[in-house]
Chain A
Amino acid sequence: MRHRGWLAALVALIVAVGAWGLQPRLRRMRADTADRLGPSVSALAESVDAAHARRDWVSAVRWGMPLVRRKPRNADALCDLALAIHNVSLDATAIEGGAKPPLRNSLERIRYDNLAIAVMDSSRACASNLRDWIRAERFVGNFYETLGLPLEALARYEAVLARAPGDSAALARRYWVGTHLMDPGATDFPRFESRADPLPNRVRRPPRR
């Protein structure tokens, strides 16, 4: 047993030394690969920021895609990309040239809408803090609202409120959706009553088994 222990320690040492010695080379290889892939992460992030700033959603997707490939678990990058994809789907007018929308038909738009939801869900899953989690969940609620699916949106806002009862944005959106679920003809600008429940008749069912 003692011999085996020494042997294992020796192998571990060799591997560690070898790895330490190989590290610069591996670093170089990673850098080479990164160079072959295109701009650096920081350059991509700057391009994404600039595209968002000028509301150029097509470019934001173009730069956001490689950024997310390089930083697949970065909640911020995922959130930015999902927003850009969602906005491309919404865009009535292309940024570059002509008055045509960037997507040709509804099949493409729904594909983008689905992708935006999936990427934002990934952002939520990768969130390392409550703030990022809430942000992603709220945005998915917004996406569903934009699609015209109020019940899906309500579920997302209520999920936010379950973890952050004071989240004012989720409270406001829940109030708006709830008000219109009860009365679809209500004004687009309902007066927010913080103590009023827009869904007073709700029946809570026991969880389905």
Chain B
Amino acid sequence: MNGRVPPTENRQASGTRATLRCLLVLGWCAAATRSAGAERPDSPLVLREHYAHSIAALGYPGARRAFQIGHGSQASSGEAAVTWRLVSAPGAVFTSPVYFERDGVPIAHWWMVSARESVHFEAAAAPNTALGDSSLELSVLATTVWRGAEPGESVLQIQIRAEPEGPHVVPWDAPRAVHPAVWKDGIAFRDDKVVAVLRGGESSSDPSGARRPAATRDAAALRGVAPGARTAVWRARLRPGESHRCEVWMPLYPLVEAALVSRGRTHAQVAAAARRGWREWIANAATLVTPDAQINAAWRAALVTLIQCQEREDGHWVPIGSPFQYRDVWLRDGARMVRALAVAGLTEWARDDAWSLTRFSLPSGALLSQRGQLDGTGQGLWAFEQACALPPDRDAARHFLPPALRALSWIEGQRRTTRDLGLTWPGLLPYADPRDGELVRAQLVGNDAWSYAGCRAVAVLARLAGDGAAERRAFAAANDGRDAFEQALGRTRHPDVPPSWQGEGNDWGNAAVGYPTGVLPPDAPRLAALAKRIWTAAGNTGLASYGRPDLLHGYLGSDLAQNALLAGRPAEARDYVRALLAHSSSTLGQAETFERTSGGFGANLPPHGTAAATLVDLLRNMIVCDWRDSLELGMGGGLAWWSGTRLERAPTRFGRVTIRLERPASNRLHASWTPVATLTRVRIPDGARAVAALTPGTRRVTERWIECLPGTSEASIVIVLEGTRGTP
């Protein structure tokens, strides 16, 4: 899906002031992180926030809502929001963006900093079955450190209300508030239900380890709020270097009885549960390590988004569009997520998600998730193939083949009918009005590209399942679709690939005609022209724009980058990755659409599931690619990636593999991988040329490619260096 709500807000501060403030806070956070032990996996990974608002999702697979952290010092469950204010500070108070932890665990960290005090926040969310099967609990620990030279009083105001300030989303199932949320004896109520709890913290010694006197806390002031107040205050008189803590606990869904509050766990328990759970999820996936720490973090962050976008329904996992505003299922997004989960080695999730997509089957066999989005059938079929072929699984293919054949019949029938009716563009799908993407009623090019991909996917499924007749039928349908597509493209007067056969619409499905649908070869000149037009329209930012030049898109350009990668122009793919990371949040999430100049994303909050999915797919293909008939290694990384890149336990069409790219000497590259029963081709990175292949079973084909016989597991290559462009 694509965001239909245009971003409207601008950055709140003027450019120079905002930049200075950002640098100040960033510098302070970085310093604080270093002093707290930056090498620890649970320390915050401080990255620049590129959007106008810093927002992060704290969700969990199976939950039907996610906590929103930010913008500013805020946490929201969707039914209640807590805002922290440092009211004792005499001057300005700066609030940092939100950061996740270094090992990818989505535990949020941020700071509020004044001239004499700093408050570090750590927010963790984890399931708590005592609160319900799909409920989560959030615990936020605020630790104030007195930085002033003289003792003083620190006052942290904690405000409760129904919704946070700034961009936010009210969940589908959140009722409208009848009464405002209020504090009463340290418990916040909204319409007589518990939405937050203020808990006493502890005093602490300073980080250097020297024991300090305990902070003087005013116990009366801790919860010294009149019943019905919307703010609570936390006061403490602190000496230089002293710190004190307070916790706020929130359930994802309001509690009907105050007595249930006792079921909430302490901050340490919630944080430990979150770390344990997320580390396990991340460890189950393929591991990517490159010399570029930001790429590694982006891979983990994308996995986290994909996992957060897993809901549970009718006993199966379901891929949703995003943790906030897109808690719904789209075939176009779900298919991308199935692919990403499959290539990332989260096979069971990929298969279960794909099976959930069969629920979109109509009596005619069509797969339709949203009205008028006829690309869904091809996308669903493609998702089935990804789930069953990465790695190949005969039983899974047999399971998916019956609904796939029904969908194939629908595609065949539609094409036959548009021929019989003598339509202007025969042999293709009829008109569609997707109310999204192309935003036009027309015969959409993307629909036919996806139908082609769907037919090919059925052929692959049938082959895996051992059904030769179905395989031949599906291949015939694919060839028929490609012929009609090529004929139609030849009839258009469009210089590249139009969004619709009628020529109208936004660029959308036409971006997918090379990768992943394959109806055109990735090196087709029309695709290069399409990419050039789209990159240029977006001001050569490296990303694609959507609808208008100033509205950049978080994943629309991904397929063009994949085309470039497969067409032997990996620098474009690297540029795309670099541009995407330069337009990501401080937790490395991507908004679907955002204003180029202001970074505003309106109500279309990051992270977006498809942006995460396409990033995972692209990074994987840059290292190991099975698009063609051989296993291809090192397709996209620059020379720098050869200084120690590894991708472990990555499923491919040829089996699960582990790849290592190394550069043992300045003129030597060494690749090692799990051997497969097909040819392996190693691409020499930009900036180098192959001179010789030293390992038995390998040979230099060109200065760019080394070919390795089936069963080979390593290649040692002599290179010479040349000028290059685009380091990853």
A binding-site residues for B, Cβ under 8 Å: 97-98, 100-101, 104-107, 110-111, 113-114, 117-118, 146-152, 178, 180-185, 199-205
Interface magnitude class on chain B: 35 or more
Q: Is the CB of A147 within 8 A of B369?
A: no
Contacts of A113 in B (CB 8 A): 362
A92 to B172, CA, bound (A): 12
Other A-B pairs beyond A181-B430, A202-B420, 11, CB < 8 Å:
A98-B176, A101-B172, A105-B327, A106-B329, A110-B359, A110-B360, A110-B368, A110-B369, A148-B373, A150-B430, A181-B423
Contacts of A205 in B (CB 8 A): 420
How far does the Cβ of A175 sit from chain B's closest Cβ, in whole Å? 14
A205 to B359, CA, bound (A): 33
For B421, give its contact among A104, A111, A202 (CB under 8 Å).
Answer: A202
Does B394 sit at the interface, judged by CB under 8 A? no
How far does the Cβ of A32 sit from chain B's closest Cβ, in whole Å? 36
- With contacts A104-B173, A199-B421 taken as known, whether A185 is within 8 angstroms of B442 at the C-beta atoms is yes
Does B441 sit at the interface, judged by CB under 8 A? yes
Does B713 sit at the interface, judged by CB under 8 A? no
Nearest residue, chain B, Cβ from A204:
B420
For B359, give its contact among A101, A107, A146 (CB under 8 Å).
Answer: A107
Contacts of B176 in A (CB 8 A): 97-98
- Residues of B343-395 contacting chain A, CB below 8 A: 356, 359-360, 362-364, 366, 368-374
How far does the Cβ of A94 sit from chain B's closest Cβ, in whole Å? 11
Nearest residue, chain A, Cβ from B334:
A106
Contacts of A100 in B (CB 8 A): 172-173
For B362, give its contact among A101, A110, A181 (CB under 8 Å).
Answer: A110
Contacts of B150 in A (CB 8 A): none
- With contacts A180-B431, A199-B422 taken as known, whether A106 is within 8 angstroms of B175 at the C-beta atoms is no
Contacts of A147 in B (CB 8 A): 362, 368, 371-372
A110 to B366, CA, bound (A): 11
How far does the Cβ of A139 sit from chain B's closest Cβ, in whole Å? 15
Q: Is the CB of A203 within 8 A of B422?
A: yes
Nearest residue, chain B, Cβ from A105:
B328
Quick one: CB contact mask for B430-442 with A, threshold 8 Å, 1 for yes? 1111100000011
How far does the Cβ of A119 sit from chain B's closest Cβ, in whole Å? 12
Q: Is the CB of A181 within 8 A of B173?
A: no
Q: Is the CB of B362 within 8 A of A184?
A: no
Contacts of A178 in B (CB 8 A): 421
Cβ-closest 9 pairs across A and B: A201-B422, A148-B372, A184-B431, A105-B328, A106-B369, A148-B371, A184-B442, A184-B441, A106-B329
Nearest residue, chain A, Cβ from B423:
A181
Counting residue pairs across A and B whose Cβ atoms lie within 8 Å, the total is: 101
A147 to B373, CA, bound (A): 9
Quick one: CB contact mask for B138-176 with A, threshold 8 Å, 1 for yes? 000000000000000000000000000000000011011
Contacts of B318 in A (CB 8 A): 107
A205 to B413, CA, bound (A): 13
A202 to B431, CA, bound (A): 17
A185 to B505, CA, bound (A): 11
For B374, give its contact among A97, A148, A202 (CB under 8 Å).
Answer: A148
- With contacts A106-B370, A151-B430 taken as known, whether A117 is within 8 angstroms of B327 at the C-beta atoms is no
A106 to B334, CA, bound (A): 12
Q: Is the CB of A182 within 8 A of B424?
A: yes
Contacts of B421 in A (CB 8 A): 178, 181, 199, 201-203
For B431, give its contact among A104, A146, A150, A201 (CB under 8 Å).
Answer: A150
Contacts of A185 in B (CB 8 A): 441-442, 502, 504
Contacts of A114 in B (CB 8 A): 362-363
Q: Is the CB of A151 within 8 A of B504?
A: no
Contacts of B369 in A (CB 8 A): 106-107, 110
A44 to B593, CA, bound (A): 49
Nearest residue, chain B, Cβ from A152:
B364
A199 to B420, CA, bound (A): 10
How far does the Cβ of A199 sit from chain B's closest Cβ, in whole Å? 5
For A149, give its contact among B360, B368, B420 (CB under 8 Å).
Answer: B368
- With contacts A98-B175, A107-B318 taken as known, whether A180 is within 8 angstroms of B441 at the C-beta atoms is yes
Q: Is the CB of B328 within 8 A of A106?
A: yes
Nearest residue, chain B, Cβ from A147:
B371
How far does the Cβ of A176 sit from chain B's closest Cβ, in whole Å? 12
- With contacts A181-B430, A199-B422, A200-B422 taken as known, whether A151 is within 8 angstroms of B370 at the C-beta atoms is no
For A148, give its contact among B172, B433, B500 (CB under 8 Å).
Answer: B433
A149 to B367, CA, bound (A): 11
Quick one: CB contact mask for B329-341 with A, threshold 8 Å, 1 for yes? 1100000000000
Determine which residue in B328, B362, B421 has the highest number of CB atoms from chain A within 10 A of its CB, and name it.
Answer: B421
Determine which residue in A97, A181, A199, A200 has the highest number of CB atoms from chain B within 10 A of its CB, and name it.
Answer: A181
Nearest residue, chain A, Cβ from B357:
A107
- With contacts A104-B172, A107-B329 taken as known, whether A182 is within 8 angstroms of B504 at the C-beta atoms is no
Does B313 sit at the interface, judged by CB under 8 A? yes
Does B418 sit at the interface, judged by CB under 8 A? yes
Contacts of B434 in A (CB 8 A): 148
Contacts of B423 in A (CB 8 A): 181-182, 201
A98 to B356, CA, bound (A): 29
How far does the Cβ of A50 sit from chain B's closest Cβ, in whole Å? 26
A148 to B430, CA, bound (A): 10
Q: Is the CB of A111 within 8 A of B359?
A: yes
How far does the Cβ of B28 sit from chain A's closest Cβ, in whole Å? 42
Contacts of B413 in A (CB 8 A): 151
How far does the Cβ of B697 sit from chain A's closest Cβ, in whole Å? 50
Nearest residue, chain A, Cβ from B175:
A98
Q: Is the CB of B441 within 8 A of A202?
A: no
Nearest residue, chain B, Cβ from A100:
B172
- With contacts A148-B373, A151-B418, A201-B421 taken as known, whether A107 is within 8 angstroms of B442 at the C-beta atoms is no
Nearest residue, chain A, Cβ from B420:
A203
A146 to B372, CA, bound (A): 8
A178 to B421, CA, bound (A): 9
- Residues of B429-465 contacting chain A, CB below 8 A: 430-434, 441-443
